[in-house]
Structure 1
Amino acid sequence: MLARATAFPVVDASDGAPIVRGKVCVAVPDRHLLFDKNRLRITRGPKENRTRPAIDALFRSAAFNFGPRVIGIILTGTLDDGTAGLWAVKDRGGIAIVQSPSEAVFSSMPESALRHVAADAVLPILDMPAAIARFSAETLPETEIQASPIMEIETRIAMNEDALNEGELQLGPLSRYTCPECNGTLIQLAEQSLVRYRCHVGHAYSPQTLFGLITEQIDMAFSQVLRAIEDRTRLLRDFKHQASAADAVERYAKLIAEDEGLAQQVRALSNNQ
């Protein structure tokens, strides 16, 4: 689709490939697309916001390696993916461009970026090429802002390096939450107004993604409880049908009625949560 819209060659990114002017490299499924000096890296590092490839990992590695030479752009999308990565771009002196939320099909990602990052331009898509050309022609600053230790550690984590063992204490304090993917304790990372979470394995979450995952866990728990109650009710009906003694039939009938009431309560709680 992209190749049909540009005269530039468009290829799948490959591990170790040099960065070539005029070539468009696209992330491949289930692998992070990262920068490592002047080459591309394709890794299977921990997921961020339950995705791989992840936009935050890409932007962060670009900011870490190229500082003010990076232009990061956030387009339409749901939740808050890309905000942490765009913050890293700005933190290293790069340029942040955000699609106008009013134009975006899904405005959540642009709105989140604008809440936490001082964008250099907020534009409709058709105005972005001229802005990119203008920013690209600007003279780079003489002194470069150094990357933070957190940015370096997180970039190494995305590379699938064992950076947490030696650097986890530098990331931030332990939070009260657990990782939805591995049940490990989450570390809280705070960068000005931006708060994120990362576990000891390396899984990373924005607040909105973590909230969504916890909500999914609650829904799943209700479904599992309801299924177990209904299975038990079916067994009780079989027991009642097979029972010969009147007192046993009565006992099973009472238990069935209790289960049916309990199932009704669970459904009500599930619908209201």
Structure 2
Amino acid sequence: MDINSPKIIVIGTSAGGMQALTLLLSKLPADLPAAIFIVQHLSNDSSAPFLVNRLNHHTKLTCKVAEHQQAFETGTVYMAPPDRHLILTEKEMLVARGPLENQFRPAIDPLFRSAAAYHGARATGVILTGFLSDGVVGMEFIKRCGGKTVVQHPDDAEYPALPANVIRQVAIDYVVPISDMGEILMKLAHQPDQDSVKVPTDVWQEAQIAQRVMISSVMTSIEELDNIGKRAPYSCPDCGGGLWELSQPNTVKRFRCHSGHAYTKESLMQGMSNSIEETL
């Protein structure tokens, strides 16, 4: 982890997200000493430039569509394009199609996982309004790597399911309405660097696996998955391959197949239900 890299704020949201994002970004100054990255669950035919222009009308920050291998800067907001995952390295963004995670692309977990692995205590994770559980594992990874976690209070969210799922499964640092969130993010962005926490081996390994699958389309070997997890008695709803449970003791359950599809327990159940319904 480069101690000279900027502070990182990663934001994940789903249904109702654009309104929440405009409210949140409107409260942040142009000279915020952090780079912001957003995954908003989008349909494949959404227009990322249109959404970014909408954000630009509500904030003093500079908002852009994330581009592959683009270096990132403080005071700038980068939004994942439709049908593409957004992940981070130490200095740049990687944008690639890659396998679905939690049945979404872009998905929140890949962004948060990469932020945790590469930026550790310099990362802050934010979850806003939405459905289902994409983002739960990513928030836990940020917490385990020494970063801070902020969640929109479910009573303040247009769609409270996603914030409630995260709060239920991860020990969150701040659970607040949007109106209070900007001040918290500014405070965290201006805090001196904290003592770094060693990135857990499983977080780093999974971040590297996902990056390799997404960017190079290299499937994970069965031997590698056997080394970091245990075989689960389920099939992947997306490709029909075997699944491995990668969860460590006292962590959120998560599953991954050798072709790169990944799930929380909730998204796996939803995927299996959808698969059965399609078969019937």
Band of TM-score, shorter chain: 0.7 to 0.9
RMSD after superposition? 1.5
Q: Which has the higher mean CA deviation after the structures are superposed, 81-90 or 39-48?
A: 39-48
- The TM-score, its normalising length taken from structure 1, stands at 0.77
Asked whether 1:133 is paired with 2:186, we answer yes
Asked whether 1:151 is paired with 2:203, we answer yes
- CA distance, structure 1, for counterparts of residue 66 and residue 210 of structure 2: 16
| Equivalent pair of 2:103/2:271 in contact (CA under 8 Å) | no
Asked whether 1:49 is paired with 2:102, we answer yes
- CA distance, structure 2, for counterparts of residue 141 and residue 201 of structure 1: 37
Q: Which has the higher mean CA deviation after the structures are superposed, 12-21 or 121-130?
A: 12-21
Q: Which has the higher mean CA deviation after the structures are superposed, 104-113 or 149-158?
A: 149-158
Match of 2:143?
A: 90
Match of 2:276?
A: 218
- For 2:247, what is the secondary structure of its paired residue? strand
Match of 2:228?
A: 171
Distance 1:134 1:90, change over 3 A: same
Cα displacement (A) at 1:163: 6.9
- CA distance, structure 1, for counterparts of residue 148 and residue 85 of structure 2: 22
Match of 2:245?
A: 188
Q: Give 5+ residue unaligned stretches, structure 2.
A: 1-53
- CA distance, structure 1, for counterparts of residue 259 and residue 279 of structure 2: 24
Q: Of the candidates 101, 108, 111, which is equivalent to residue 164 of structure 2? A: 111
Cα displacement (A) at 1:179: 0.3
Cα displacement (A) at 1:9: 1.9
Structure possessing the higher relative contact order (Cα contacts under 8 Å, 6 or more residues apart): 2
Asked whether 1:16 is paired with 2:74, we answer no
- For 1:2, what is the secondary structure of its paired residue? helix
- For 2:184, what is the secondary structure of its paired residue? helix
1:4-83 pair list within 5 angstroms: 4-83=57-136
Q: Give 5+ residue unaligned stretches, structure 1.
A: 223-273
Q: Which has the larger radius of gyration?
A: 1
Percent identity, aligned pairs only?
A: 35
Cα displacement (A) at 1:193: 4.0
Distance 1:49 1:113, change over 3 A: same
Cα displacement (A) at 1:153: 2.6
Cα displacement (A) at 1:152: 2.0
Cα displacement (A) at 1:147: 1.7
- CA distance, structure 2, for counterparts of residue 171 and residue 99 of structure 1: 33
- CA distance, structure 1, for counterparts of residue 175 and residue 115 of structure 2: 21
Cα displacement (A) at 1:39: 0.8
Cα displacement (A) at 1:24: 1.3
Match of 2:266?
A: 208
Q: Which amino acid in structure 1 is aligned with residue 278 of structure 2?
A: M
| Equivalent pair of 2:219/2:259 in contact (CA under 8 Å) | no
- For 2:154, what is the secondary structure of its paired residue? coil
- CA distance, structure 1, for counterparts of residue 240 and residue 277 of structure 2: 17
- How many residue pairs get aligned? The number is 221
- CA distance, structure 1, for counterparts of residue 105 and residue 200 of structure 2: 24
- For 1:164, what is the secondary structure of its paired residue? coil
- CA distance, structure 2, for counterparts of residue 95 and residue 181 of structure 1: 32
